[in-house]
Amino acid sequence: MLRLAAAGIDVASNVSTSFVGLLNTVREAFANSMAQETSRDVGPVVLLGPPGAGKGTQAKRIMERYQVPQVSTGDLLRYNVAQGTQLGKAAKAVMDRGELVSDDLVCEMVRLRLKQPDCRRGYILDGFPRTAAQAVWLDALLEDKFFDNSRPTRAWPIVIRLDVDYNQLLLRITGRRSCPTCGRIYNVHFQPPRVDEVCDVDGNRLVTRNDDRLEVIQPRLAAYQEQTTPVADYYQRTGRLISINGDRPVDEVTQQIFRILEDHQA
Ligand code: AP5
C-alpha cells in the first residue's frame, strides 16, 4: 500500500474499473515504485552469469535505482580497445577470440576503477570476477580495507547469479544491439528499438558487438563453463551465492534482484 501511495495511485477511484484494469494499474504502480531511485547504500554487488544472461541490462537498472556505478570489465576493456591504449592493444585479440583477458591486467583495471570516489556507497561488478583467482583477489582487496569498511554498509559483496537456458542465451546474444553513444542495450527479438537499428534515446545507429559473431559465441560460453563456474563454486562454498531465474522477462528479473538487495539492507 505504501508503494501505491508513494506512486500516487488512488486505489479507491479505481474500484469501478474492471478487475483486469485495476490489476494492470497495480502492476504499473509496483513497477514504477521499483524503478524509483533510492540513495541508500547498497555496498558491493556482483552479477554472475554466462554471456547474454542479462548482467549488463540488470546492472543499469540497479545503477539507476541505487545511484551506484556499474563497473563492467567488458565495457572498460572495450573502451580501452576503442582508445587504442596499451591495455586495449593487449586485450583486443584475446576478446575477439572469445577468451578471457589475463587476471593481472583485469584486476589492475578493476583496482583503479574501484578507487574512484563514486564507488564509496557501493558498485555493481558486471563480468568480474570471472576466474577463481579474480574472486580470491577481490576478497583480499576488500579485506585489506581498501574501502572504508567502517561505514555501516556491508564490506562483502552480494553475489547474484542469473541462470538462463542455453537456447535463450543464443537468442539473446545474436539479437543484441547496443547504442555506441549512450550504451543502452536492445534486442531485436525481445526489446527492439522503436525504429529499426536506431537508438530510442539519442537517435544514433545501433551496433553489434564484435564478439557476438556466431563463431565467437561458443568459445565465450566455453570460457564461462570452464573458468567462471569455479567462481560460483567459490561463493557457494562461502555461503554468498544467490541464484535467480534469469529466464524471466527483464522486469521480473529486476524485481527479483531488488528484493534481494532490499532484504540484505534490512
Ligand atoms: P563482457 O562484456 O562481460 O561480456 P559477457 O560476460 O559475455 O556478457 P554479455 O555482455 O555478453 O552479456 P550480459 O550478461 O551483460 O547480457 P546483456 O544484458 O547485454 O565480456 C566481453 C569480453 O571481455 C570477454 O569475453 C573477455 O574477453 C573480456 N572480459 C570481460 N571481463 C573479464 C574478466 N573479468 N576477466 C577476463 N576477461 C574479461 O543482455 C544480452 C541480450 O539479452 C540483450 O540484447 C538484452 O536486451 C537481452 N536481455 C537481457 N535480459 C533479458 C531478459 N530477461 N529477457 C529477454 N531478453 C533479455
Q: Is the CB of 127 under 6 A from ligand 1?
A: yes
Burial 98-134 (b: 16+ CB within 10 A, else e): bbbbebebbbebbeebbeeeebebbbbbbbbbbbbbb
Question: Cell numbers at residue 193, please?
Answer: 528499438
Q: What is the pLDDT of residue 156?
A: 83
Residue 39 pLDDT grade (very low, low, confident, very high; cuts 50, 70, 90): low
pLDDT at 30 over 90: no
pLDDT at 22 over 80: no
Q: Tell me: the pLDDT tens digits for 221-242?
A: 999 999 999 999 999 998 999 9
User: Which is the closest atom of ligand 1 to the Cα of 77?
Assistant: 23
Average pLDDT rounded to a whole number, residues 200-205: 97
Q: Tell me: the pLDDT tens digits for 128-187?
A: 999 999 999 999 988 865 555 445 445 789 999 999 999 999 999 999 999 999 999 999
Q: What is the pLDDT of residue 41?
A: 72
Q: Omega of the bond prior to 192 within 30 degrees of 0, cis? A: no
User: Which is the closest atom of ligand 1 to the Cα of 134?
Assistant: 34
C-alpha of residue 256 to centroid of ligand 1, in Å: 19
C-alpha of residue 54 to centroid of ligand 1, in Å: 6
Measured CA to CA, the distance from residue 154 to residue 34 in angstroms comes to 22
Q: Which of 29-33, 66-70, 242-246 has the lowest mean pLDDT?
A: 29-33
Q: Tell me: the pLDDT tens digits for 76-114?
A: 999 999 999 999 999 999 999 999 999 999 999 999 999
* Residue 235 one-letter amino acid: Y
Catalytic center residues: 55, 130, 176, 209, 220
Structure-model confidence comparison of residues 8 and 94, the more confident one: 94
The arrangement of strands across the sheet holding 241-245 comes to 70-72, 122-126, 43-48, 158-163, 241-245
CA distances to 93, 96, 174, 192 from 81, rounded to whole Å, are 10, 11, 22, 27
Average pLDDT rounded to a whole number, residues 58-86: 96
Q: At a CB cut-off of 8 Å and minimum separation 6, what does 231 contact? A: 48, 129, 130, 131, 132, 134, 135
